[in-house]
Amino acid sequence: MKKLILVWVAVVFMSTTNLFAQSPTDTLFQITNKVMKAYKTQNTDLLAAYSSFYGKLEVTGNKDYWSEEDVVKTVERAKNWDGKIRGIGYQTMKMGGTTLKNALVYLYDAPDPGKIYTLQFTKKDSGNWFLSMMGGIEEYDKSHFDNFKQDMDEFQKAVENAVKQSSAGQN
């Protein structure tokens, strides 16, 4: 039984990482756009490419994933997003010899005053960004986002790169 489970985990991991492999040069702006596209179109493989290991297992191993209540909410929130990122906040923490960087991407304001919708990503040392454990578009108090360090230089560079990419695609 253990061998069967290990084989299943290996197959799931290998099948989801090759199709939509994340580029090490992907910015949070690009990753956010891809994750939001995955939610809007309910694209399991694309979402798995930007999920943590456990997130990959949840997305690819759960046949009812897209019908779960919290995922249905996330899909609806993704469909209501206008494609603009309002800000990105960062927090860095050290755990032993590992540096974890968390990014909170502010997508848009929630209907309740003082609330916003966000995606949260994590990055280990110099690795790739991936959706934090549970993934999904979460509703937070705006003050929670304000506690994250705003790195406007990185945000501005991402916006400028996105504008260049969209301009290049129109020529």
Taking alpha carbons only, the member of 153, 158, 156 closest to residue 129 is 158
CB-side neighbour CA atoms (13 Å) of 24? 4
33-37: long-range pairs with CB below 8 Å, 24+: 33/83, 35/119, 35/131, 36/78, 36/81, 36/83, 36/107, 36/119
For 7-22, what is each residue's pLDDT tens digit?
344 444 444 444 455 6
CA pair distance 47, 43, nearest whole angstrom:
6
For 23-38, what is each residue's pLDDT tens digit?
666 888 999 999 999 9
Beta carbons of 161 and 29 less than 8 angstroms apart: yes
Would you state the pLDDT for residue 166? 62
Beta carbons of 65 and 58 less than 8 angstroms apart: yes
Return the exposure string of 15-32: e unless at least 16 CB atoms fall within 10 Å of the residue's CB, then b: ebeeeeebeeeebbbbbb
Q: CA distances (Å), 74 to each of 7, 27, 67, 71, 122, in order?
A: 31, 22, 11, 5, 19
Domain count, the chain: 1
Would you state the pLDDT for residue 52? 86
Largest Cα–Cα distance of the chain, in whole Å? 56
For 26-84, what is each residue's pLDDT tens digit?
888 999 999 999 999 999 999 999 998 888 888 899 999 999 999 999 999 999 999 99
Residue 97 has pLDDT above 50, yes or no: yes
Measured CA angle at 122 (ends 165, 92), to 5 deg? 105
The boundaries of the domain holding residue 124 are 2-170
Taking alpha carbons only, the member of 169, 116, 170, 156 closest to residue 29 is 156
Residue 161 has pLDDT above 70, yes or no: no
CA pair distance 140, 131, nearest whole angstrom:
16
Backbone angles phi, psi at 24, to 5 degrees: -65, -15
Is-above-0.85 flag for pTM?
no
